[in-house]
């Protein structure tokens, strides 16, 4: 897809948010919480719009990616900062639930 962009924000050693955007205006996006575990980046939480709506996938260490849950009713330019803000404020609790 044309006009793809990506940026990352470090939250702690071995924990970051990665954002991928495609299109102008934004047509597709992914906001991921990633953690460095077992010598690789592991997906912990994913917010995206690839199914035509804004949704979130939880990951668990033992069972991987879980079914999508809707998370935001607005446009992509509101859903993306909402996902980032949630990850910044709750990443430690999200990490704990992933570890279980």
User: In terms of Cα–Cα distance, which of 55, 40, 58 is closest to 100?
Assistant: 58
- Residues 62, 15: contact at Cβ < 8 Å? no
**pLDDT score for 99:** 86
pLDDT of 6 reads 96
Q: Note the pLDDT tens digit of each residue in 15-32.
A: 999 999 999 889 999 999
**pLDDT per residue of the chain (100 residues) written in tens, 0 to 9:** 578 999 999 999 999 999 999 998 899 999 999 999 999 999 999 999 987 899 999 999 889 999 999 999 989 999 999 999 999 999 999 999 998 8
- What local confidence, expressed as pLDDT, does residue 52 receive? 82
Pick from 76, 63, 70: nearest CA to 28: 76
At residue 16's C-alpha, the angle toward residues 13 and 17, to 5°, is 165
């Amino acid at each position: 897809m044309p006009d793809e962009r990506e940026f990352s924000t470090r939250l702690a050693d071995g924990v970051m948010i990665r954002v991928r955007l495609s299109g102008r205006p934004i047509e597709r996006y992914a906001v991921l919480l990633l953690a460095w575990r077992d010598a690789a980046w592991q997906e912990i939480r994913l917010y995206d719009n690839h199914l035509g709506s804004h949704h979130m996938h939880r990951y668990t260490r033992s069972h991987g990616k879980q079914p999508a849950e809707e998370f935001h009713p607005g446009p992509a330019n509101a859903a993306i900062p909402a996902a980032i803000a949630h990850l910044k404020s709750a990443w430690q609790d999200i990490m704990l639930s992933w570890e279980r």
